[in-house]
Structures are given as C-alpha cells and as structure tokens.
A and B are shown apart, each in its own frame.
Chain A
C-alpha cells in the first residue's frame, strides 16, 4: 500500500479532463509514481495531458448540438422554462442508472478488461432483492441484498479472470447467461413488484427540487472520480491496464487488483439495481436489457481506450448524457425506437472515428499529401 505515495496527485488531474488546466509536470514525481511503467506509458501521465480535456470539450459540443436540435424541432416545448428544467432533470434521471453502471465499467476497461455481465448482474441483484423473503426485511434488507449480490457476482467474475485465467470477454459472457438464468429461476419468471415505500420513493422523491436518483448518480461519479484520480487504487488501475507486466514488475499485485476492479463493477451494478427497481417499482429477469452495451458505448465515446490504460470518469459521464439526451430527443419528437438505435450506432462510430484523428498528425498527413501530389 505504500510504494506510490500520494504526492503526485497534481499531475493526475489531467486524466479527469478538466479544461484549461495544465499543472507543471514534475518528472521526478511522475517517475516515482509510475515506477517502471513510466517510460513506455508516459503519454497518459504527462505527454498529452490536454487531450482528455479537448475530447470532453468535443463531447460537450455534441450535447449542445443535440439541445439545439431539440429547440429547433420542438420550439413549443422549449419556450416553457419550467418544462426545460423538468426535462433536464428527466434526462439526468434517465442517465442515472446507466451512469452508475458506466462508472464501474470505466474502471474495468481502464484496467484492461471488459464486463459484459453488468445488465445480468442488475437483473440478478434486482430480482434477489425483491423476493417476498427479502422484502420482509424491509428497505435495509433489500439494499443490503442488492449490494452484496452485485459485489459477489463481480467477485466471481474477477476470480475467474484473474485466477482462472479466463479471457474477460468469455468469463463475463458466461456470467451474462448464467446470472439471467438464475434470476429467472429465483423470480419464477414473474415480475416481482416492490411493495416497499422507501425503495419506490427513491425514484419518486426529490430533495431541494432535485430527484434523489440524481444525487446517487452524483455521489457515484464523484466517488469514482476521486478513486481514479486521487488514490493509489486509481493509479494502479491505469498501470495494470496500460501494461500489466510492467505493473507486476513494479510491485503491483495485478491479480488481486483485477479481482477488485470486477468487484467494483459488480457493486455499481448492485447500486444500479436498487435504482432501477425503484424506477420500475418492480424487478424481473429481463430487466436492464442490453445495459452492458449502453455502458460500454458510453465509456468508449467518453474516450476510454478499449485496450485499457486510459480513460476518464467525466468523459464516460458525458457519453451517458449524450445517449440519454438522444433518447429524450427522439421521445419528444415522437420518433421510433428503430431510428433511435440507428442514430446511436452512428454516433458510436463517429465518436471513435473522430477520436482516432489526431489533429496534429492530420495536419502532417495533409502536408505530406500535398507534397506528393504537387
């Protein structure tokens, strides 16, 4: 717990993508923190510190564009300021469940893995926490159950991957199938209605005009940001994802760390299960359908590198917000889900394409092209 001291926090700020911030880089500190990974993995750490900020500004641009499209297509709704505020909160509520899942997913992907089982973990945690027996324990029992079930399933994923040496894709794919099967078994394939007023109230109630779900999302995002950018755990995650062999040589227990990452993802799914159960006032084995794809897509368009070693919580959050804003845009215009899915797919491709274009090298490429054609 002590080989990297928390003195280098200033440099890590860039990975959160705060715009207009370029703290001076202390090479000694950087070197000490990254250990032997410093030389090959310097880029995420100090080389292109401004890149995350630029990317996030681009995502904010996309969000603004979506809102402008909304204003242009439904001026009648957008002229009502109370509707605009209510709609903003609705978008945040819509984003809250996937947002919480995406925070866990971002950690897993930065750590060099992938978790395809998040939707299934939500289903099993949601179903397990709404059985008649669990509901008899009240809200505390339901929340405890959802969190412990999510955490445990995540732990199993992590153990299979670290110590069973399964490829993450296969291990979590197997978990996706198995967890939904168990959820169907427990629920006896029925929709289980939650009769608990406290649980149902999480989605229905607000504090100071802001829905409780939004507070939960904010808490998880801030917690995730601090964990990634201000703790040894976060720095180890980046190191493990960037170059696991170097991380191991630097003294990081890569296997244990990988287990913890999947457990963290599972825990996030447990939290999400409570939120989704509360929204739907019920749980069933088919709930949270395809949330794994939503979370992965949001993390990727948020700038998380699918091969690991790079990613930001703020970027992932923006990715989630873009998707929920699109969903909202299609709903208020009464357009079909098919069209919406096509646009979503297009946006994922476009976002990744844009990220691949490095503007510096693009300029170089153009110059060279001009030189050859001339």
Chain B
C-alpha cells in the first residue's frame, strides 16, 4: 500500500510540475507585430479631433495571420484617434453567427459600422438593415452585391493580385528566355470567391503572353495544407519554372516543402505580403522572388474613413466634401528592390 501511494505521489508531483512548467510556456511576447496605422503626423486638417464618433466593428474570428492583422490594425487605428470610441463584436465562425452579432451591434446604435463580412453575399441583408437603421456601413474587403447595403467600401484587388503575379512571372520568363514555361499555382481556399478571382486574374494574364498553368493545387490558407499541396505539386511536375502561391501564411508551409523536396529550379511569387515573406525576398536565398500585396492595412484605412463619415468630413486631398463610395487598393508587387519600403506594412 505504501508503495502504491508513493507511486501516486510521484505521478501526482510530476503531473503538477509538468502543468506548472507548461502553463509558463504559453507566453508569446516577442512574436507580436506592430500594427500598421496612420499616425497623421503630416499636419492634415482631418487629424484635428472632431465630433465624438462610436465605430462598431465586426470581422470573422481570426484563424490566420491576415485576419488577425485586420483586427489588430482596426483596433490600433481607432486608439490613435482621441474622438473615436471603438466597439468590437466577435463575429464567430460563420455568416449566421456574424448576422446575429451584427443585429446586436445595430441595436446599440453606433455612429458608423465597419464590417468585414464572412461572405459579402450572405451578409448583404445585414448591411441593408444597418443602413436602413440610419447607420452608415463601411464594407471592408468583401463587397456587398447591393449598392444600398453600404456607404463606402474599401476592397483589396483580388483579380489584380493575379494580374500582378502573372506580370512578374511573364517578365522574369522573358528575361530568362523561357518561351514555354511550366507554371504551378498553389491557391487558397477554393470555396471562397476571392480565390476564384485571384486565379482568374492569374490565368487570364498568363494567357495573353501565351502561357498557361500546368498544375493548380488548392490549399486552405494554413501552413500545413500549403506544405501538403506543394509536396503534391512537386511530385506531379518534376521541373517547374515558376510558382504562384496565393498566401504568404500558407507560404511558410510551401517554403518548408521546397526545402524538404530540395527543389530550387523555379522562381516563386507570394501573395498578401507578410513580414516573413518580405524578409525572405530581401535575403534573396530562396526561390521566393516577389510577393503581390493584399495588405491588411486596409482595416486601418476603413476605420479612418468611418471616422470621417461619422464626422461628416471628406478626404482632405480630394475636392469632394464627402468620403467616396468605393476605394479599391492596388495590388503592388514587392521585389528585392523595394522590399525595404514595404517592410513596415508587412504583417
């Protein structure tokens, strides 16, 4: 019996010790990135505090880097204004959960709502409801089909990402003198419209140069799925000339697969513009030669626009007295030459 209890004591002690040790292991201090916000240091008239504004914010629960950066940016930008009260509601895991969260938000009557819908089509009705309740809606990233459902939209250019990636690859291939390059594509989640748009821009631009995608795999914006799909791609095509990977977060896995398969014969273009991708491009010792932006800084801009709408101000560089209805960000190409300029926008 004594031996039994001693063993229990030993196991119990070990379990508690391991628990204490592990609880200490959840800290993540160093990994947080700085938010990308506009601090308005340039003496802009709009920077002056104005009428107090409450901005309601709703975005899907972040499960990867880009979405996490969206939320962080929006929060940080709101904090930079003394006249803004920021009210964030968690939008949960799907469109239905976000719809429920939004009706709660609408009933609280914020001055303006900034919303990144799970899916623009599915949340269109929620946008209409808010607008009818007299709350201007700023749609972030995923457009509503109905023009009446938003006051302003600020979108990334998914089609343009594909175009930029294709243009970079075409230029590189022409410079190398490859006339019929073998091109691979590692897309994001195929069920999202934005993935379809990106792929369409890519293949249509390639077609203009007479190129085509030889093999396309769809990953899930996660590093482990990126690794798996890239491994499949390398297995299918033994010699590649160029690869476009839609998302730099899943690109971590793609780069791992490149290392594991020891494939270096091609050039790769990334997407979105993470800090790690920009650093890899600068270092220039991997196949990753460029990335096309789809910057989460649009969340900061959306909050700034929402504030101006709430205060009835326009954008001071434009003649109009009100904020425009639609802004589409250009997808820029980051290469070794200009990476240092963009590093502060990396997430």
Residues of A whose CB lies within 8 Å of any CB of B are 77, 83, 86-87, 90, 93-94, 128-129, 131-134, 137, 141, 144-145, 148-149, 152, 184, 186-193, 200, 203-204, 276, 279-289, 327-328, 330-334, 336-338
State whether the Cβ of B29 lies closer than 8 Å to any Cβ in chain A.
yes
State whether the Cβ of B25 lies closer than 8 Å to any Cβ in chain A.
yes
Q: With A189-B67, A331-B232, A337-B218 as given contacts, are A284 and B223 in contact (CB-CB < 8 Å)?
A: yes
Q: Are B26 and A286 in contact (CB under 8 A)?
A: no
Determine, out of B56-64, B150-158, B167-175, the stretch whose residues face the partner at the interface. B56-64
**Complex alpha-carbon distance, A203 and B30, angstroms:** 26
Task: Give residues of chain B (234-286) contacting chain A, Cβ–Cβ below 8 Å.
Answer: 235-236, 238, 249, 252-253, 255-256, 259-260, 276
Contacts of A93 in B (CB 8 A): 231
**Which A residue's beta carbon lies closest to that of B236?**
A332
**Complex alpha-carbon distance, A137 and B61, angstroms:** 31
Please provide the 6 A-B residue pairs with the shortest distance between their CB atoms, ordered closest to farther: A331-B232, A189-B68, A280-B223, A189-B62, A281-B256, A332-B236
Contacts of B259 in A (CB 8 A): 204, 281
**Complex alpha-carbon distance, A144 and B18, angstroms:** 9
Q: Are A328 and B232 in contact (CB under 8 A)?
A: yes
Q: Are B190 and A336 in contact (CB under 8 A)?
A: yes
Contacts of A186 in B (CB 8 A): 26, 28
Q: Are B235 and A331 in contact (CB under 8 A)?
A: yes
**Which A residue's beta carbon lies closest to that of B232?**
A331
State whether the Cβ of B5 lies closer than 8 Å to any Cβ in chain A.
no
Q: Are A187 and B223 in contact (CB under 8 A)?
A: no
Q: How far is the CB of A305 from chain B (nearest CB, A)?
A: 30
Contacts of A330 in B (CB 8 A): 232
Other contacts beyond A132-B30, A189-B67, A204-B260: 14, CB < 8 A? A131-B26, A133-B29, A137-B25, A152-B19, A189-B63, A193-B252, A276-B224, A280-B222, A282-B223, A286-B64, A287-B224, A334-B214, A334-B216, A334-B236
**Complex alpha-carbon distance, A87 and B259, angstroms:** 16
**Complex alpha-carbon distance, A276 and B225, angstroms:** 10
Q: Are A281 and B236 in contact (CB under 8 A)?
A: no
State whether the Cβ of B311 lies closer than 8 Å to any Cβ in chain A.
no
Contacts of B222 in A (CB 8 A): 191, 280, 284, 286-287, 289
User: 7 A–B contact pairs at CB < 8 A?
Assistant: A86-B235, A128-B22, A133-B28, A282-B252, A286-B64, A289-B225, A336-B218
Contacts of A283 in B (CB 8 A): 223
Q: How far is the CB of B68 from chain A (nearest CB, A)?
A: 4
**Which B residue's beta carbon lies closest to that of A213?**
B260
Q: How far is the CB of B122 from chain A (nearest CB, A)?
A: 20
Contacts of B252 in A (CB 8 A): 191, 193, 280-282
Q: Are B63 and A134 in contact (CB under 8 A)?
A: no
Residues of B whose CB lies within 8 Å of any CB of A are 18-19, 22, 24-32, 61-65, 67-68, 190, 214-218, 220-229, 231-233, 235-236, 238, 249, 252-253, 255-256, 259-260, 276
**Complex alpha-carbon distance, A137 and B65, angstroms:** 25
**Which A residue's beta carbon lies closest to that of B62?**
A189
Q: How far is the CB of B138 from chain A (nearest CB, A)?
A: 22
Q: How far is the CB of A343 from chain B (nearest CB, A)?
A: 15
Q: Are B64 and A281 in contact (CB under 8 A)?
A: no
Q: Are B256 and A133 in contact (CB under 8 A)?
A: no
Among B63, B214, B224, B276, the residue within 8 A (CB) of A279 is B224
Q: Are B228 and A190 in contact (CB under 8 A)?
A: no
Q: Are B236 and A331 in contact (CB under 8 A)?
A: yes
Q: Are A90 and B28 in contact (CB under 8 A)?
A: no
**Complex alpha-carbon distance, A287 and B253, angstroms:** 11
Contacts of A284 in B (CB 8 A): 63-64, 222-223, 249
Q: How far is the CB of B221 from chain A (nearest CB, A)?
A: 8
Q: With A279-B227, A280-B253, A287-B223 as given contacts, are A128 and B25 in contact (CB-CB < 8 Å)?
A: yes
Q: Are B64 and A94 in contact (CB under 8 A)?
A: no
Q: With A94-B231, A189-B63, A280-B223 as given contacts, are A131 and B68 in contact (CB-CB < 8 Å)?
A: no
**Complex alpha-carbon distance, A170 and B307, angstroms:** 45
Contacts of B228 in A (CB 8 A): 94, 279, 327
Among A90, A144, A188, the residue within 8 A (CB) of B32 is A188
Q: How far is the CB of B91 from chain A (nearest CB, A)?
A: 13
Q: With A280-B253, A287-B222 as given contacts, are A134 and B232 in contact (CB-CB < 8 Å)?
A: no
**Which A residue's beta carbon lies closest to that of B15?**
A152
Of B62, B226, B228, most buried by chain A (CB within 10 Å of CB) is B228
Q: With A188-B32, A281-B253, A328-B235 as given contacts, are A134 and B25 in contact (CB-CB < 8 Å)?
A: yes
Q: Are B236 and A132 in contact (CB under 8 A)?
A: no
Q: With A190-B65, A193-B276, A204-B259 as given contacts, are A145 and B253 in contact (CB-CB < 8 Å)?
A: no
Q: Are A90 and B231 in contact (CB under 8 A)?
A: yes
Contacts of A184 in B (CB 8 A): 61-63
Contacts of A141 in B (CB 8 A): 25
Q: How far is the CB of B312 from chain A (nearest CB, A)?
A: 35
